[in-house]
């Protein structure tokens, strides 16, 4: 069976504290599924970028990658930049199965969760 990997993709920041919530999500995923390879990647201002994160997971044995954009709004980065980067991955690794998930903010579960937190 092919190893699966997931990349949590976020904008990035120079502030190291900004990364903590992204890394926390990665850690919860690792705890829930120890066989799944998990990596965080960033569009700018942080490392690794998407290409490096994918290369790292492929080197670790991943043959299937799911990319989960951790964006609340679907702006230019989610609509244009990320699909272009994913297309580059698919060209570079034609045997790799790549799934680009909708942005986090498009999931009704997240909307409900944020509303619940706001109301608590």
Number of H helices, E strands in the chain: 5, 4
Determine the pLDDT at residue 75.
78
pLDDT for residue 76: 83
Q: Are strands 37-42 and 3-10 parallel, antiparallel or unpaired?
A: parallel
Model pLDDT for residues 78-110, shown as the tens digit of each residue: 888 999 999 999 999 999 999 999 999 999 999
Picking from 28, 27, 23, 59, the residue whose alpha carbon sits closest to that of residue 41 is 23
In the chain, the domains with their CATH numbers are 3-119 (3.40.50.1400)
Rg for the chain, CA atoms, rounded: 14
Average pLDDT over residues 20-27: 97
Give the single-character DSSP code of 49. Answer: -
- Residue 22 pairs in a beta bridge with none
Asked whether the predicted pLDDT for residue 1 surpasses 90, the reply is: no
- In three-state secondary structure terms, 42 is strand
Instruction: Give every CB contact of residue 73 below 8 A, 6+ residues apart in sequence.
Output: 103, 105
What is the predicted pLDDT for the residue at 44? 94
């Amino acid at each position: 069976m092919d190893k699966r990997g997931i990349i949590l993709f976020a904008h990035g920041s120079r502030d190291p504290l900004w990364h903590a919530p992204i890394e926390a999500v990665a850690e919860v995923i690792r705890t829930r599924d120890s066989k799944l390879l998990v990596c965080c990647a960033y569009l700018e201002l942080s490392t690794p970028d998407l290409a490096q994160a994918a290369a790292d997971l492929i080197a670790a044995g991943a043959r299937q990658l799911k990319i989960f954009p951790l964006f609340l709004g679907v702006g230019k980065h989610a609509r244009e930049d990320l699909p272009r980067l994913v297309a580059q991955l698919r060209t570079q690794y034609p045997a790799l199965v790549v799934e680009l998930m909708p942005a986090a903010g498009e999931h009704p579960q997240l909307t409900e969760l944020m509303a619940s937190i706001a109301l608590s």
